[in-house]
Amino acid sequence: MPPRPQLKPRKRPSQARSKATVEAILVAAAQVFQRHGYVGATTDRIAERAGVSVGSLYQYFPNKDAILVALTERHINAGFALVRELLAEALNEAPPLERLLRQFVVAMIALHEQEPELHRVLFEEAPLPPSVRRQLRKRENEFATEVCAFLRAHPEARRHDAKATAYVVVHTVDALVHNFILHPPEGLGSDALTEEIVRMLLGHLTTNEAS
């Protein structure tokens, strides 16, 4: 267990051919991580699945964890993009808070429902390096800040400690949905959960309090 080596690619692909190779490796990695878990996902297996040689793989990724990281970052980016998109759509209509919240929860569920097993491996099983976890938290905070700004602006929202509220709102939805999709409890459907979350958050956001 020597100090964790670098995570950046040693060569940047320039020709179309090599770009395709990198893409194939990432796609294959997603499949292999999904099917075999973090430990079972060997570089040999990923290369084989990608239809390239191990040597090629190591041209673009200095080690196994670099693949994990690249994959995770891509996954995170796609996730935020999707949620933002769905939210932006909803925001165009200047909707009531309840509708917006429901939209948010639904978007998060949709997000977690695609490739849930990959999601589980990446975020629950794999030893994501601290740098990546930090980055993820940073993105979450940015997102919470947006939510925060929105909350101040929305006519229905009444709370004072917008920072704490935004933190709680964003993380509550994320955590509950994450748990629900990845470890579905018996006797509780996603509709019921959505309703419950929406009611709770709506109440929380619209209750005025002399702090």
Q: Which residues bind a second copy (CB under 8 A)?
A: 1, 36-40, 124-125, 127, 133, 137, 141, 161, 163-165, 167-168, 171-172, 175-176, 178-179, 183, 185, 187-188, 192-193, 195-197, 199-201, 203-204, 207, 209
Residue environment code for 164-195, b if the CB has 16+ CB neighbours within 10 A, otherwise e: ebbbebbeebbebbbebbeeeeeeeeeeebbe
Nearer to DNA, 54 or 106 (CB): 54
Among DNA, a second copy, none, the one that 3 touches (CB under a kind-dependent 5 to 8 A) is none
* Residue bearing tokens 């165009």: 92
Which of the listed partners (a second copy, DNA, none) does 94 bind, with a CB threshold of 5 to 8 Å by partner kind?
none
187: partner contacted, choices a second copy, DNA, none (Cβ within 5-8 A by kind): a second copy
User: Is the distance from CB of 144 to CB of 209 less than 8 angstroms?
Assistant: no
Q: What angle do CA 186, 83, 31 make, to 5 degrees?
A: 65
Q: Which does 125 bind (CB under 5 to 8 A by kind): DNA, a second copy, none?
A: a second copy
Instruction: Give the Cα separation of 124 and 46 in Å (integer).
Output: 20
Q: Which residues bind DNA (CB under 7 A)?
A: 1-2, 5, 11, 13-18, 20-21, 40-44, 51-56, 58-59, 62-64
Q: What are the start-end ranges of the E strands in the chain?
A: none
